[in-house]
Structure 1
């Protein structure tokens, strides 16, 4: 959820899929304004960090739904970014084989922290208490 500058609450449905091409998660964001009205592509892009617009984040149609426009966070750079984040999370140099030994739930929390840099105005719950 985010509050944009006009004080209108926006909500996002997050869809995380697995990219078999890049072997990393891929995130889709579907935005809704007040009253559950779907956001237009330009409105969703207002909530994306300018450094990522039309590079890592693009507008496309949700592949698992009919006629749903969304923001897609591309996985093409995730592998290198995730390797750096895993290194910082573990406090040391991480080899690819060591990264494979990370628990899936921890990987997804770190992945969502990366996504938070792309969507700085959206609040995420990183707690693992429910697991």
Structure 2
């Protein structure tokens, strides 16, 4: 990507640190419950599906589908003012969980529910963020 979208960087916690470390390596990971097999996102101490406490990080394909999408014309915070319009989406990753991110790249403003997307990583000074782009975008 040619220009980074301004952001309010997340503050990794001990629980979320493996996720952010993997993003820095341009890998998308989520926790998989070793008791019931379900994936979970956001990072958790226990499985929200079965209550099990045996969670292990698993690498994902990086592919997904837009579950919900909106184009923002009025920035949520001053830091985003120079980036409007921008696209926020709930992306259902191929492995199941839904995560919120931005749709970036060519065609982002035309993104719609059901479109397939691929993860891309945006390296910032503080953290690397997972974003998604349309195929060919």
TM range (shorter): under 0.3
Q: Which structure dedicates a bigger proportion of its chain to helix?
A: 1
For normalisation by structure 1, the TM-score amounts to 0.26
| Higher normalized strand content (fraction of residues) | 2
